[in-house]
Amino acid sequence: MQKTFSNSVYRRRRLFNRFHLSMAWLTMAFGLFWLGWIFHTLFYQGFSGLGTEVFRLDTPPPGMAGGLRNAIWGSLLITLFGLFIGTPVGILCGIFLAEFGRRSKLAAATRFMNDILLSAPSIVIGLFVYGLVVVQQGHFSGWAGALALSLLVVPVVVRTTENMLRLVPDSLREAAYALGTPKWKLVSMVTLRAAKAGVLTGVLLAFARISGETAPLLFTALNNQFFSTDMNQPMANLPNVIYQFAMSPYEDWHSLAWAAALLIALTVLAANIAARVLARNKH
């Protein structure tokens, strides 16, 4: 009788397991179907509008041939400057949390604020920089856009840097202390070097996050129909071009919007692949 009861329980558990496993596979297939549909549409529409003129010509008025040269350069400048501003701040803050603060009240408050900034909607960041910089200057600018993006970079880099430094074995720190190494040299020459691949992965993930942000740039950099590298003036950028052109009734603008969306998607994909390769090599 005990054997019969055990077989009954086993069959019931196996049926229960198969049911939930099937549901998991169906859910995954459902999500992958829509993701594949989105990517298929993006690549089909994007490649149809992607040509050499996209990289040679500036955004056109309705009914005329044009490209995305000014928007590509504007996005590149704003994103890179935002990365250059936010990355050092994020790394230094992560070093403080992992190596110096650890269990202090200041570190706990910093982590709390970093978590809030990490989960804050990007449009809130854009409005903050708009009131802080744009209103005070009296005009939109590329620098305001870079500052807004840097505020999105900082929490990602802080979290990654802290976690990677905490994974460094304490034996390395103890060996350095035994040799009389000062704290600043221990951090710069030992722990930071050991966590270098992980920190760089965080920087690439931050770059992937800010590459397609639209809301912060709407309130800071705005847009520009002409080619410009002056960061003190409004600058064209791919996210805002997509927003403007996709809302228009003109087919040629729609084609350029699809091409811009494809360029951003390929950039984010490349950054994520590079981050995964670095993380895999680290392990």
Convert the pLDDT of each residue in 30-41 to its tens digit. Answer: 999 999 999 999
pLDDT value of residue 176: 87
In a domain, 199, yes or no: yes
In a domain, 82, yes or no: yes
In a domain, 281, yes or no: no
In a domain, 27, yes or no: no
In a domain, 244, yes or no: no
In a domain, 128, yes or no: yes
pLDDT value of residue 34: 94
Torsion angle, alpha carbons of 155, 159, 164, 169, to 10: 140
CB 62 within 8 A of CB 248: yes
Q: Is 103 helix (H, G, I), strand (E, B) or coil?
A: coil
What is the CATH classification number for the domain harbouring 226?
A: 1.10.3720.10
CB 176 within 8 A of CB 243: no
In a domain, 194, yes or no: yes
In a domain, 132, yes or no: yes
Q: How many domains does the chain have?
A: 1
Going from the C-alpha of 183 to that of each of 42, 99, 103, the distances in angstroms are 51, 9, 17
What is the domain extent for residue 213?
A: 73-237
The tokens of 140 are what?
A: 């939109």
pLDDT value of residue 1: 54
pLDDT value of residue 3: 60
Low-confidence residues of the chain: pLDDT under 50: none
pLDDT value of residue 2: 54
Nearest residue to 236 via CA among 224, 251, 245, 248: 224
CB 232 within 8 A of CB 143: yes
